[in-house]
Amino acid sequence: MTLEKSARWYEENKQFLAGGVSSDVRKAELPHPLYFESGSGSRIRDVDGNEYIDYVLGQGPLLLGHSPGPVLEAVHRQLDRGLVFAGQHQAEAELARLLTQAIPCAERVRFNSTGSEAVITALRAARAYRGRNLVVKFEGQWHGWYDSLFVSTAPGPTQQGDRSSPNPVLPSKGQVANAADNLVVMPWNDLELLEDLFARRGSEIAAILTEPVMCNSGSLMPRPGFLEGLRSLCDRYESVLIFDEVITGFRLALGGAQEIFGVTPDLATYAKGIASGFTLSAVVGKAEVMDLISSGQVVHAGTYNSNPVVIAAGLATLQTLTGDREAVYSHLNRLGGRLRDGLEERLRRAEVPALVGGLGPVVQVSLTDRQALHDYREWASRDDRTYQQLVTDLVYQGVRTTGRGTWYVSTAHTDADVDRTLDAFALVLEDFRISLRA
């Protein structure tokens, strides 16, 4: 097996395409950024003629797998009718209506193109609603790459500061120096520290922004009572609770994590699960907050928002997921569970210390001696170097997954895919042990 063409094209194209990629996250592909030619179902094919079982799934959006038929048909139909109207069409209202039925907190909906935009919109609405500036965000969570959101996503040990009051860390040069002035960064899953913070500054805090499951750093689960605790803090101090469901939305359940955990935020953002790879995101929430947008007091705009092509994709995705809702989610959960159990068993047999976690079709492997992981710093202490090598070796076995340890399963994945993946994983672990001993 060779990756020669990908490697060559990546190097050659750097002279035209800055850094050889269009999103810095893609530089992390192992063993180097690959060039792909096509994808269908659970499979993706590169330009060197290799086919992989794909657990990256576009970093999340391909919940129905690559190029799902019903979505493509709906999009093809729309392509003949028009691309961007800069005006209203009934399908966007229909999708909004369906979202209000599917998502517990959704009384009103606005569409954007990306997750980053949806989160920015939610923050603007929350700040306007409460007339306060401060927003609590958690260390290790990723809410997009805009200046005022791109803070402490993966801070290194020397940057982090004290655990009880982490430094706000700006990852990119060129972010305005005061980008984090209106954020308070906190460790996730620690209600006591948050109680303390709110006791001191509650009257300044407009919102708590959180991924309900920390998919971006270890797919960590909320401790029992944590999300409920956030809800009651927000109620007590009249702050807005925002769930960033960009990954969890439609993926863990149609209503997202808020449906699974039974905690209803005031606002929520959706993107990666809702349009099968088309650029559609949504901010949804309670009418009393969202109506600041309805009235125009909070301005929200975007040339490409809710263009009929992405809405057609969103509608077809929702219809596919709801068509046989029970079968869809039981397939996603069962396969995710099989993969989780199988990976765990192979790691145990190979005596590689690891925690295998996640929820439903989000599977997470973290190489660590710890018995449990609760926050970013605990997860960041894992053996990342060894894991990167495992992921690289898996590529050569025809399995593509992320270096962060997250594996996404789609409705297109099959039991045979999982069987093949587990065999490949066992093989890689065995080779690995031999090379470690040598």
Ligand X SMILES: Cc1ncc(COP(=O)(O)O)c(C=O)c1O
Interface with ligand X (CB under 6 A): 114-116, 119, 142-144, 211, 216, 244, 246-247, 271
Q: How far apart are CA 414 and CA 288, in angstroms?
A: 43
Structure token pair of residue 336? 């995710």
Q: How far apart are CA 167 and CA 14, in angstroms?
A: 34
| Beta carbon nearer to ligand X, 244 or 378 | 244
| Beta carbon nearer to ligand X, 279 or 333 | 279
| Beta carbon nearer to ligand X, 115 or 360 | 115
User: Any idea what DSSP says for residue 21?
Assistant: -
* Shortest reach from residue 148's CB to ligand X, in Å: 13
What stretches of 291-409 adopt beta strand conformation (E)? 355-359, 362-366, 399-400, 406-408
| Beta carbon nearer to ligand X, 92 or 244 | 244
| Beta carbon nearer to ligand X, 241 or 271 | 271
* Shortest reach from residue 18's CB to ligand X, in Å: 18
* Shortest reach from residue 145's CB to ligand X, in Å: 7
Structure token pair of residue 344? 């765990």
* Shortest reach from residue 60's CB to ligand X, in Å: 7
**How far is CA 383 from each of CA 2, 200, 355, 418, 426, rounded to the nearest angstrom?**
27, 37, 11, 24, 19
The pairing of strands 267-270 and 240-244 is parallel
Q: How far apart are CA 23 and CA 162, in angstroms?
A: 31
| Nearest in space to 160 (alpha carbons), one of 140, 141, 180, 178 | 140
Structure token pair of residue 60? 């999340």
Q: How far apart are CA 100 and CA 172, in angstroms?
A: 37
Ranked by CB distance to ligand X, the top (closest) residue is 115
| Beta carbon nearer to ligand X, 119 or 283 | 119
Helix (H) or strand (E) holding 186: strand 183-186
* Shortest reach from residue 130's CB to ligand X, in Å: 21
Say if residue 158 is exposed, middle or buried (CB neighbours under 10 Å; 0-12, 13-18, 19+). Answer: exposed
State the CB neighbour count (10 A cutoff) for residue 58: 16
| Beta carbon nearer to ligand X, 20 or 61 | 61
Residue type, 213: V
Burial 161-178 (b: 16+ CB within 10 A, else e): eeeeebebbbeeeebeee
Q: How far apart are CA 422 and CA 437, in angstroms?
A: 22
* Shortest reach from residue 59's CB to ligand X, in Å: 6
Contact (Cβ atoms closer than 8 angstroms) between residue 312 and residue 91 = yes
User: Any idea what DSSP says for residue 187?
Assistant: -
| Beta carbon nearer to ligand X, 239 or 248 | 248
* Shortest reach from residue 115's CB to ligand X, in Å: 2
Structure token pair of residue 46? 């590169």
| Beta carbon nearer to ligand X, 114 or 189 | 114
* Shortest reach from residue 120's CB to ligand X, in Å: 9
| Beta carbon nearer to ligand X, 115 or 202 | 115
Length of the chain: 438
* Shortest reach from residue 211's CB to ligand X, in Å: 5
* Shortest reach from residue 433's CB to ligand X, in Å: 34
